[in-house]
Structure 1
Amino acid sequence: MLDYAALTVVSAVVREGSFEGAARGLGLTASAVSQRVRSYEERLGSLLIIRGSPCLPTELGRALCAHVDKVRLLEADLPHRSDGTGAESPQPVILKIAVNADSLATWFPDAMASFTQKTGIFLQLSVEDESQTADRLRSGQVMAAITAETEPVIGCKMLRLGQMRYVACASPDFVERFFLGGYTPQSFQAAPCICFDRHDGLQSRWLQRTQGSSLPPSVHYIPSTQGFLDFILAGAGWGLQPLSLAQTFITQGGLRPLGPDPFMDVDLYWVFPRLKSNIIRDLTQHVMRYCEAMIYLERTA
């Protein structure tokens, strides 16, 4: 039988990234936290935490922490949560969600604000490219994810949120330096490009569709939505930006769309576990209702 008291300590170390951080959150000393983790590892005959900066879970440790997260989520649905002594549990309910950076920079904060205020749930977000967020769910690191992937995740449901529209753009100065001769495959190969990270295939897909070419040899990798936009505005390169963020700059003349077909739509999906959890159900309903009314995603068929 699992020792949930010990697993709560293990989970706290993984969540905080250190024994000291876990000790502060649990109201214990760091040595007491270390002893409880070590004692439980000895009982199991297997390491649960890789000591370091930060402390990371082993494969078994990650699986057990994911289990604890699900148990805590189910316990939160009970009308009177307690720690077994009749006292209210001091541990907050934390939802771990993987979200793509562009959603985080546009609609996701508004969607979550009213939910967290209403429920008292706390969020722990993992920010990835939309093509990578589902991997966090598969590994058990998060409880739900916003993803562009359509491959099913075992034990999870998938609902379509809508489409996020992107626009290929650059500063007027950049356009004059690299595209005076037109938007051709040759000019795009000579013009520096900006990508979110090495998993970001958006620019590559747009180039393939509109130019029949691949990424140029000169690429800046900027893993920040705001930083990505700032680099484009500064004339360091071209790239695809969420239209909702770029529209004001396009209207004011700070950015120019590239070519006759600068747009690209990306389908986004909400993936969540098949748990009989009121919290997950309410969160999903909240996200879906918000996406139906919001301006950032187009819920086309």
Structure 2
Amino acid sequence: MEIDGAQLAALAAVVDEGTFEAAARRLHVTPSAVSQRVKGLEQAMGQVLVRRSRPCRATDAGHALVRLAGQTALLQSEALVAVRGVTGAAPRVSVAVNADSLSTWFPAAIAELPIRARLDLRREDQDHSAELLRDGSVMAAVTADPQAVQGCRVRPLGAMRYLPVGSPSYVTQWFGGGLDPAALAVAPLLTFNRKDALQVRFLRQVSRRPLEPPVHYVPSSSAFVELVRRGLGWGMVPDVAAAPLLADGELVVLAPGRHLDIPLYWQHWKLESAVLDALTTSVVAAAREVLHGP
């Protein structure tokens, strides 16, 4: 059977934008037209493809079609440029990137991209970004998952090294007697969000037992580093971000010689796409300048 292109685009727009109204604005049609197109596709497929929630979400069956819609749109825009030289047809490329990569090495990759594209960057923890590839939400991702998602290629990027750091006054106050489990159990720490497991991993590495110290949630890479510098708590900071503050004496390492290396991988749809190829080349090159290994 053939899939109607307008119906497929409507489904993708609803899932991407979250509502039928927003999808209608993106497609320059009425919400009723979007609804009719999605219903028509569901009738053709014989099952529900999108959950009418806030925001709207694709069903398992819908994910496969959302992914198809993205692949079709990407290849179509590249074909228009190649065949007709359409200057306004720059492809839209959605990419999931963890916050620490986004605030350190990743901007260099996209700033030097030699091909025109409309980027849609989505911040997601490296331990969870592969899920966005699986459901078709993004075309590529920086992820901690070395196993290629079905229909994707995977490339090792290297490891981001995290150092346990705090301000000198904080370390003196809380760890003056040493970095022992008793002190770690009560010393405040910073965590990016509830998906961030770096601090927990370090605690387990040092204490060998579960600890529940006071936690501050700070969902911003720059604010995270700044608040560690100001003594709100200790935290795991990428070595590239910590280096100048360590050199100036504004931060100190809690446990010299200890660190966490988080291997990162680049996964992208397995398509013959000039944009994805160029992006992959830029991402791998930028990662090698900062990350350890691979």
**TM-score interval, normalised by the smaller of the two chains:** 0.7 to 0.9
Unaligned runs of 5+ in 1: none
Q: Residue in 1 aligned with 2:27?
A: 26
Secondary structure of residue in 1 paired with 2:11: helix
**1:68-108: CA deviation from partner (whole Å, max 9, x where unpaired):** 111222223425579xxx99697752222121110011111
Match of 2:171 in 1: 175
**How many Å separate the matches in 2 of 1:23 and 1:153?**
31
Question: What are the within-5 Å matches in structure 2 for residues 63-74 of structure 1?
Answer: 63-74=64-75
- Paired residues for 1:52-201 under 5 Å: 52-78=53-79, 80=81, 93-115=91-113, 118-201=114-197
Gaps of 5+ in 2: none
- 1:165-244 alignment to 2 at 5 Å? 165-244=161-240
- Change beyond 3 A, Cα 1:223–1:138: same
The alignment partner of 2:256 has SS state of: coil
| Residue pair 2:167, 2:230 contacting (<8 A) in 1 also | yes
Residue 271 of structure 1 is matched in structure 2 by 267
Give the Å deviation of 1:29.
2.4
Instruction: Determine if contact 2:167/2:252 at 8 Å carries over to the other structure.
Output: yes
The 1:28/1:81 distance shift into structure 2, 3 A limit, reads farther
Q: Which amino acid aligns with 1:134?
A: A
Q: Paired residue for 1:16?
A: 17
Inter-partner Cα distance in structure 2 for 1:281 and 1:275 = 9
CA contact (8 A) 1:164 1:242 kept: yes
Relative to structure 1, the CA distance from residue 144 to residue 4 in structure 2 (aligned partners, 3 Å threshold; closer, same or farther) is same
Deviation at 1:267, TM superposition (A): 1.6
Task: Give the % identical residues.
Answer: 39
Corresponding residue number in structure 2 for 1:297: 291
1:5 equivalent to 2:6? Answer yes
User: Aligned AA for 1:72?
Assistant: A
Q: CA deviation at 1:193?
A: 2.0
The one-letter amino acid of 1:7's match is L
1:41 aligned partner? 42
Amino acid at match of 1:185: P
Asked if 2 retains the 8 angstrom alpha-carbon contact of 1:170 and 1:238, the reply is yes
- Count residues with an aligned counterpart: 293
The answer (yes or no) to whether the contact 1:75–1:81 under 8 Å persists in 2 is no
Deviates more, 1:28-37 or 1:239-248: 28-37
Partner AA of 1:140 in structure 2: G
Preserved CA contact (<8 Å) 1:170 1:235: yes
CA RMSD of aligned residues (A): 2.6
Could you state the TM-score of these two structures normalised by the residue count of structure 1? 0.86
SS at match of 2:95: strand
Distance in structure 2 (CA, Å) of the matches to 1:218 and 1:142: 35
Quote the offset at 1:136 in angstroms: 1.9
Letter of the structure 1 residue corresponding to residue 92 of structure 2: I
- What is the identity, as a one-letter code, of the residue corresponding to 1:187? A
Q: Does 1:247 align with 2:225?
A: no
Q: What CA distance in whole angstroms lies between the structure 1 residues aligned with 2:28 and 2:82?
A: 20
Q: C-alpha distance in 2, partners of 1:154/1:40? A: 24
Tell whether the 8 Å contact from 1:191 to 1:216 is kept in structure 2 after alignment: no
CA drift at 1:2: 0.6
Preserved CA contact (<8 Å) 1:193 1:216:
no
